[in-house]
Amino acid sequence: MVGLRWLTPLMVVVVVLGLAGTTISEDPYRFFTWNVTYGDIYPLGVKQTGILINGQFPGPTIESVTNDNLIVSVFNSLDEPFLLSWNGIQQRRNSWQDGVWGTNCPIAPGQNFTYILQVKDQIGSFFYYPSLEFHKAAGGFGGISIFSRPRIPVPFDPPAGDYTILAGDWFKQNHTDLKAILDGGQDLPFPDGLLINGRGSNGNTFAVDQGKTYRFRISNVGLTTSINFRIQGHEMLLVESEGTHTLQNTYSSLDIHLGQSYSVLVTADQPAQDYYIVVSTRFTSQVLSSTATLHYSNSAGAVSGPPPGGPTTEIDWSLNQARSIRQNLTASGPRPNPQGSYHYGYVNTTRTIRLANSAPVINGKQRYAVNSVSFIMADTPLKLADYYQISGVFSVGSISDNPTGGGGYLQTSVMGADFRSFSEVVFENSEDTVQSWHIDGHIFFVVGMDGGQWSPASRLSYNLRDGVSRCTVQVYPKSWTALYMPLDNVGMWNIRSENWARQYLGQQFYLRVYSPANSWRDEYPIPKNALLCGRASGRKTRTL
C-alpha cells in the first residue's frame, strides 16, 4: 500500500475501512464521478428537459468484473432531490446502497452522495435508473455490464464487440407533466414513440465486420410497454438473462418486458450491406416502432425495403417463447462451477406468497395495488426506521401473503421474511394487461407460467430442473407466474411493478428479510456516509 508503509497493520485496516465504507474486500475498485444535471434533449424531435449524467443521455455505461467494488460519487445539480438505483445488482448484505426511498434518503439539491457497492458473485447485463418521483421519464438511466473473471469459463467465444442497447417507450411531455397527470388521479396517455439509446428512428448505427460475432446487451428501460427486438436478416443466439447463462436457443425476434435485460450473439454472416435493427411495442392496439442500423464495415448498400415486422398482440407466441428460455446447467456462472449445481427443485419451500395486482380507485383517484394494498411512502426511509427502531413508520405484516379480494386501501406495506428461508412466490394477474415484476436484492427461479387461475394443482406443471433464474419477470393477462426464491440476503428490499405509472401509484411493497444474529456475517452495518432524513435526522451513523 504505497504511501502507508508507516502504519501499523491495525491502522491499515482502519484506513481501508474508512475508504471502502461497508465493503471489505481485496477485489479491485472502480471509481466513477457523476454530475447529474438538467439539459435540453430532442429524442423525438421535440425539445424536452432531460436528466443527464456527465452531460450524457443516456448516462455512461458501467463496465466491471465479478466482485469489483464500485465507488460512484453522485453530485446532484438538479433543483430537486435525487436517487439512483441499480436494477438487478443484488447488493449482497448491503441494502443500504439500493438507492430507493425505502432504503435511502434522497440526495438533496447541490449535495453529493457516494455509493459504495460490490457486484458480488454476479455476471451479466443490467441497468441503473433514477428512482424518485417520476425522474425515469426524463432519462438518468444507463447500462451495467459485469464481465466474468479471468479463467472462469464462459460458454461462448469472446465476441468481436460488445454493444449496450437501452430501448423503451417515451413521451414527448416532460416528466413533471407526466407526474402531474398521475398525481391528479389519471393514468398516462399512450406513449409517443420508442427510443434506442436515447434516440428515435435511424438515430444509431452499430458497426460490424463481416463474419464476426457481436454481443448485444438489450434492456427495456421504458415506462409502460413491453417491446420486441429483432435484426433484419439475422438470427439471435440468446446467451444470458439478467446474470444467468441461458440455453443457447436461436430467435428471430425476442420479447423484452419492462425492466428485463438479455444478451444475444449476432453473427454478421449476411451479404455486405446495412440492415435494420427494430424495436416495436407488444400487446398494444397501436404499434409503435423505432429503428437503428446494423452497418457492415464493407457495406455495399444502405438498408433496403421495409423494416421486418414482428409479433404484435399474440400472447401465446410470447408465452411459448418465455417457456423456452431456460438455464444452461453446464455453464459456469460467476464462480467456476456449473449453474445447475444449485438444485432448487429439491429444496422444500417453507412458505407460499401469492401476490395479486389490481387497479382500484381510492378517494376518487386512480391507484394500483398488491393484495389490495396501495403503497404510500413514509416520512422516513424504512431501512433507517428499522435500524434506529423508530416506531410508527411501518408495521411488519401490513400486507397479506394472499390476495384479500377486498377493495384497495393506502398503506406503507412491509412483508416480513426469515433469512435463509425458501419461498414459493406466485404473481396472479386478473387484469387484461401484461404485468412486469422486479424483486430487489435477490434472484429467483421461474418455475411456471400459464393462463387462468393458479391453484396448488398448478405445481404439477412446474419446471423444477432448469427454470431460468433472474430478477424481473412478466405475468401475462389473466395468467399467473410462479417463482422459487431463496431469501438469502438480509435487508429491506423493494418488490415493485416495472410499469412506472403503476409503481408510482402504489403497486409495490417492501420485503424485510430479517436475521436475529445482528452480525456483519449477515449484513453490513450502516454506512458512515449514510444520509439521514425524516425521523432519523440528527442521529449518528456509526463510528469506525
Query: Looking at residue 339, what is its pLDDT?
Result: 81
Residue 544: its pLDDT value, please? 58
- Predicted confidence at residue 364, as pLDDT, reads 96
Cell of residue 302, nine digits: 444502405
pLDDT surpasses 70 at 23:
no
Instruction: Residue count of the chain, please give it.
Output: 544
Local structure of residue 307 (DSSP, 8 states): P
- Residues 440-454: what's their mean pLDDT? 98
Residues 6+ apart with CB under 8 A from 116: 20, 21, 22, 23, 69, 70, 71, 97, 527, 529
Among 18-32, 81-95, 253-267, 407-421, the minimum mean pLDDT is found in: 18-32
CA atoms of 355 and 261, how far apart (whole Å): 23
Give the amino acid at 3.
G
Task: Please name which of 412, 429, 440, 433 lies closest in space to residue 506, comparing C-alpha atoms.
Answer: 412
Helix, strand, coil share (%) of the chain residues, nearest 5: 10, 40, 50
In angstroms, the CA 330 to CA 469 distance is 14
**What CA–CA distance (Å, rounded) separates 18 from 21?**
6
CA dist., res. 84 & res. 74, Å (int): 9
pLDDT band (50, 70, 90) for residue 342: confident
Q: For the chain, give the mean pLDDT.
A: 94
Asked whether the predicted pLDDT for residue 1 surpasses 70, the reply is: no
Per cent of the chain over pLDDT 90 is: 92
Residue type (1 letter), 234: H
Does the pLDDT value for residue 6 go beyond 90?
A: no
Is the pLDDT score of 19 beyond 60? no
Kindly tell me if the per-residue pLDDT of 4 is higher than 60.
no
pLDDT at 337: 84
pLDDT band for position 10 (cuts 50, 70, 90): very low
When mean pLDDT is compared across 17-26, 72-81, 153-162, 239-248, the lowest value belongs to 17-26
Give the per-residue pLDDT at 21: 45
* Torsion angle of C-alpha atoms 329, 122, 141, 159, degrees rounded to 10: -60
Q: Are 266 and 216 in contact (CB under 8 A)?
A: yes
Maximum pairwise Cα distance, the chain: 71
Q: Report the distance separating Cα 232 and Cα 167, nearest Å.
A: 17
The pLDDT confidence band at residue 20, using thresholds 50, 70 and 90, is very low
Task: Convert the pLDDT of each residue in 180-194 to its tens digit.
Answer: 999 999 999 999 999
pLDDT band at 322 (very low <50, low <70, confident <90, very high): very high
Q: Detail the DSSP E strand segments found in 119-160.
A: 124-130, 142-147
What's the pLDDT band for 351 if we cut at 50, 70, 90?
very high
- Of the pLDDT bands very low, low, confident and very high (cuts 50, 70, 90), residue 524 is very high
